[in-house]
A and B are shown apart, each in its own frame.
Chain A
Amino acid sequence: LAKTTQPISMDSYEGQEVNITCSHNNIATNDYITWYQQFPSQGPRFIIQGYKTKVTNEVASLFIPADRKSSTLSLPRVSLSDTAVYYCLVGALTDKLIFGTGTRLQVFP
């Protein structure tokens, strides 16, 4: 399972776009990149998953460069309710999910 590195924390203000980058230098060919969000005292919630290039859904975009050694989760126009911990996971689709340290995002009014 590829090891991931994310910033420990990030601050933002409401309405801004937030980009959280995750490094995964030893990503394998069969590995996908998945991001989860976790609020305090709750289980993680799936945000987005991708293999290469760009993926977009109703809540976020995921940018993956050609070498796939990093990825960037983009949250457009964050609100206070986006304050949470964001985890980047890398692995094959049937792998067990191993969580790294995550990025604690704090959104200010």
Chain B
Amino acid sequence: GAVVSQHPSWVICKSGTSVKIECRSLDFQATTMFWYRQFPKQSLMLMATSNEGSKATYEQGVEKDKFLINHASLTLSTLTVTSAHPEDSSFYICSARGPGQGNTEAFFGQGTRLTVV
């Protein structure tokens, strides 16, 4: 199946700094990417949906100025956590879908563990 790669797999940052997480579709063009956050023992929570070349659509309660999403190309989307705080520590997961692909082919990255100290 198609491969979606996230980088980094884990990151530790100091409170107040910003962290960028990359999500790449390696062998298909991802017209739509989804970003999720998952706290321990909880389900995935959708943060935002991004379509290539347009602004991301954020879910209710997700601060768009804090979680900056850029989907500038068909193979790369980035999530930047700005001014990170300990409560932003979580597991962040991206998912990518290509043109004409239904949810049968929504592929997920391996996730990024963010720890803010």
Residues on A lying within 8 angstroms of B by beta carbon are 32, 34, 38, 41-46, 49, 87, 89, 91, 93-102
Complex contact A94–B102 (CB within 8 A): yes
Closest chain B residue to A96 by CB distance? B49
Chain A interface main SS type: loop
Residues on B lying within 8 angstroms of A by beta carbon are 1, 4, 6, 34, 36, 43-46, 49, 91, 93-95, 102-111, 113
Q: Shortest distance in angstroms between A6's beta carbon and chain B's nearest beta carbon?
A: 10
Q: Which residues of B contact A94 (CB under 8 A)?
A: 102-103
Across the A-B interface, give the 10 residue pairs with the lowest CB-CB distance, nearest first: A93-B102, A43-B108, A99-B44, A99-B43, A43-B93, A43-B111, A44-B108, A93-B103, A49-B104, A43-B109
14 A-B pairs with CB atoms under 8 Å apart are A32-B103, A42-B111, A43-B6, A43-B94, A43-B110, A43-B111, A91-B103, A96-B46, A97-B106, A99-B36, A99-B44, A99-B45, A99-B46, A102-B43
Complex contact B104–A41 (CB within 8 A): no
> Using a Cβ cutoff of 8 Å, how many contacts connect chains A and B?
57
Chain B interface main SS type: strand
Q: Shortest distance in angstroms between A95's beta carbon and chain B's nearest beta carbon?
A: 7
Q: Which residues of A contact B105 (CB under 8 A)?
A: 46
Complex contact B106–A46 (CB within 8 A): yes
Q: Which residues of B contact A100 (CB under 8 A)?
A: 43
Q: A46-B105, A96-B49, A97-B46 are in contact. List 7 more A-B contacts (CB 8 A).
A: A42-B110, A44-B44, A49-B103, A87-B44, A93-B102, A99-B45, A102-B43
Q: Shortest distance in angstroms between B30's beta carbon and chain A's nearest beta carbon?
A: 14
Taking A96-B34, A97-B34, A97-B46 as contacts, is the C-beta distance between A43 and B95 under 8 angstroms? yes
Q: Shortest distance in angstroms between A99's beta carbon and chain B's nearest beta carbon?
A: 4
